[in-house]
Amino acid sequence: MINEISIRDLGVIDDAVLPLGPGFTAVTGETGAGKTMVVQALGLVLGARADSGTVRSGSKQASVEGRWLVPEAGDIATRVQDAGGDLDPQGDGLAELILLRTVSSEGRSRAVVGGRGAPASLLAELGEHLIVVHGQSDQLRLTSSTEQRLALDRFAGDALTAIAARYRDAFGRAREARAELAELVDERDERAREAELLRVATAEIEALAPIEGEDVELAERAERLTNIEDLRLAAEESRDLVSSEALDAHPDIVGLLDTARRQLERVAPHDAALQPIVESLSSAGFLLAEVSTQLSGYLASLDTDGAAELDAIQDRRAALALLARRYGPELSDVIRYAEAAGPRLLELDNDSDRIEQLGAELLELEALTVSIGGELTAARLDAASRLSDMVTAELAALAMPTARLAIEVSPRDELAASGADTVGFLLQPHGGAAPRSLAKGASGGELSRVMLAIEVVLAATDPVPTFVFDEVDAGIGGAAAIEIGRRLALLAKTSQVIVVTHLAQVAAFANNHLTVVKDSSGAVTASSVTQLEGAARTAEMARLLSGLPDSKSGLEHARELLQLAADG
């Protein structure tokens, strides 16, 4: 329930506070005073699109603050707390929730939920649980088959909701199976070509059996074999210089070092300083002898048949390069390609089995969908009969005593996500007349009453915390308007009802009467909101009736209406 709405600099409203509270609140005022801005303010604070054009001329921003009483524990409280907001406990299991929305003249919007900044989408999410707004556009929406089906399903309640959930699950699984089956069948040839290409590639790669890093190793070996003669000559000359085995060779390094060592050893006893040098020459000789041995081993490792090995290596390198061009670009990519090809081939080769399996699954799912769709239709037919009778009874109380609402549940040409049938609301204005769809056979005033009758019935089975009606009484007057006021008062016994109206017959039944007052004395028109009681309310009622707040006949008629409403 909304306790209070504060509006600042929104449209023509300068600064207004709307005390609301439980029951039936009527909002009246002169044309152009800004009554509709009250509904726009509620929409704004509940997540509607922000429009800088609604900011009052000369102001930097518009703001709307709403104070709601909500259950201290429940979905709303949980969602607010999850978003970081707070609620103020009020006792009796209720808490106050404050929602705030601001819109700057540049178009920037800011939302606050329970004292914490939040996206406007959270306001909209909460609004779905807090309020239902009905305007003239909503009456037109009632002519939509989809909206009519939703109203019927809402009336049918939890039993139908459970069936609908099972139906949507079966329908969704059937749709997925059908799509996969169609894809497999449509792409069968393409998938067969893919499988053949994978088989050829796998065979080619397996035949060569590449090894990770093999291309790098082969490149190094090819480089060695290509330059084998240069390597051999250099190694031989180097070995001969270090330690030659030929008798007629020039003196080698090892021999020279040995001669130098012996020379120093001969005189070293005469000078101890020479002994470390002798030892160094001895160590150098040992190291060079080791180098000579290593060079001899290296020369022995050079294959005398290097040309044949080089040809084999170059052939393999060429074969690996071809694989890399086809399935690479790197050899590692080729190996990964081969690893992934196996599972993919298995999947493609199982297409026939999968198609057969999907076909069987689809038949089962379609049969299940049809079966549950039949349950859904039966539930709707039962609900349609009851809703039709109850709304028809309400229409009689709304000055349409001979009218009847007929609800047709007709089979669809094919199953849809909503079920196997369509729902149509038809109005029979009087006995003997053919029922016609609301879109074609109902006037604006009749649509208003049908919508109100439906909401009164639905509120008994699926109560909504707050209803807001924006000139739902358009096109209605006289006795019909009185009955609409009476039914709104009845609806207000189970829900909070806020009505923007221009009819005294409707406003008379409100327990809280607010008027939007326009002040055009300044450069810019400003409006404020006043709560009416006693003589002030009677005067406003007289103005609604006659256009004159001090008309004697108007005042008398106003008092008569207020007494009629008080008597029920």
Element housing 531 (H / E): strand 526-532
pLDDT at 247: 47
Residue 565 and residue 475 share a domain? no
pLDDT at 200 over 70: yes
Q: Are 230 and 133 found together in one domain?
A: no
Domain of residue 477, CATH code: 3.40.50.300
Report how far apart the first and last C-alpha atoms of the chain are (Å, whole number): 24
Q: Which residues contact 463 (CB under 8 A, 6 or more apart)?
A: 494, 495
Res. 480: pLDDT tops 50 = yes
Average pLDDT across the chain, whole number: 85
Mean pLDDT of 508-527: 79
Q: Which residues contact 318 (CB under 8 A, 6 or more apart)?
A: none
134 shares a domain with 11: yes
pLDDT band at 54; cut points 50, 70, 90: confident
Could you tell me which residue, 443 or 22, shows the higher pLDDT? 22
Let me know whether 243 and 341 are in one domain. Answer: yes
Q: How confident is the model at residue 370 (pLDDT cuts 50, 70, 90)?
A: very high
Which residue, of 283, 315, 349, is where some domain finishes?
A: 349
Weakest mean pLDDT among 16-30, 421-435, 468-482, 497-511: 468-482
Mean pLDDT is lowest, of 95-104, 155-164, 252-261, 538-547, for: 252-261
Is the residue at 122 inside a domain?
Answer: yes
Which of 349, 372, 397 marks a domain boundary?
Answer: 349
DSSP codes joined into one string, 411-425: EEEEEETTEEEEEEE
Domain annotation covers residue 252: yes
Pairing of strands 419-428, 404-416: antiparallel
What's the chain's Rg over C-alpha atoms?
Answer: 46
Is 364 within the bounds of a domain? Answer: no
Selection from 3, 12, 90, 6 nearest residue 520 by Cα: 12
Mean pLDDT for the stretch of residues 32-51: 83
Report whether pLDDT(72) > 80. Answer: yes
455 in any annotated domain: no
DSSP string for residues in 5-69: EEEEEETTEEEEEEE--SSEEEEEE-TTSSHHHHHHHHHHHTTPPP-GGGBPTT-SEEEEEEEEE
CA 210 to chain centre: 47
What is the rounded distance in angstroms from the CA atom of residue 96 to the CA atom of residue 114? 9
Q: Which of 316, 349, 382 is the last residue of a domain?
A: 349
* 379 lies in some domain: no
* DSSP state at residue 523: S
Contact 140, 64 (CB under 8 A): no
Q: Coil, helix or strand for 107?
A: coil
* 498 and 567 both lie in a single domain: no
Mean local confidence (pLDDT), 109-120: 92
Q: Is the peptide bond before 429 cis (omega within 30 degrees of 0)?
A: no
pLDDT at 201: 86
206 and 316 both lie in a single domain: yes
> Torsion over CA of 10, 533, 465 and 114, rounded to 10 degrees?
50
Q: Which stretch, 113-122, 255-264, 312-321, has highest mean pLDDT?
A: 113-122
Whether residue 509 sits in one domain with residue 568 = no
Task: For 171-195, write each residue's pLDDT tens digit.
Answer: 999 999 999 888 877 777 677 777 7
Say yes or no: 204 and 116 in one domain: no
pLDDT score of 559: 93
Same domain, 482 and 553: no
Q: What is the pLDDT of residue 430?
A: 79
Interval 77-113: pLDDT, tens: 999 999 999 999 998 899 999 999 999 988 899 999 9
- Confirm whether 397 is domain-assigned: no
- CA 209 to chain CA mean position, Å: 49
On whether both 197 and 333 belong to a single domain, the answer is yes
Q: What H or E segment, with its residue span, contains residue 103?
A: strand 94-104
pLDDT digits (tens, 9 = 90+) for 441-453: 677 777 778 888 8
Number of domains comprising the chain: 3
Whether the pLDDT of residue 136 is over 70: the answer is: no
Smallest CA-to-CA distance from 481 within 489, 493, 470, 473 is with 473
Tens of pLDDT, residues 482-498: 888 988 898 898 889 99
pLDDT (tens digit per residue) in 266-283:
888 888 888 888 888 888
- Residues near 88 by beta carbon (within 8 Å), at least 6 away in sequence: 95, 96, 98
Statement to judge: residues 471 and 560 lie in one domain? no
The pLDDT, as a whole number, for residue 160 is 94
Residue 57 lies in a domain: yes
Q: Which domain holds residue 9?
A: 1-141+463-532
Instruction: Evaluate the CA torsion angle 282, 283, 285, 290 in order and state its sign.
Output: positive
Check residue 245 and give its pLDDT.
62
- The answer to whether residues 109 and 135 belong to one domain is yes
Mean pLDDT of 353-357: 79
Residue 126 lies in a domain: yes
350 — pLDDT class (breaks 50, 70, 90) = low
Q: Name the phi and psi angles at 125, rounded to 5.
A: -65, -45
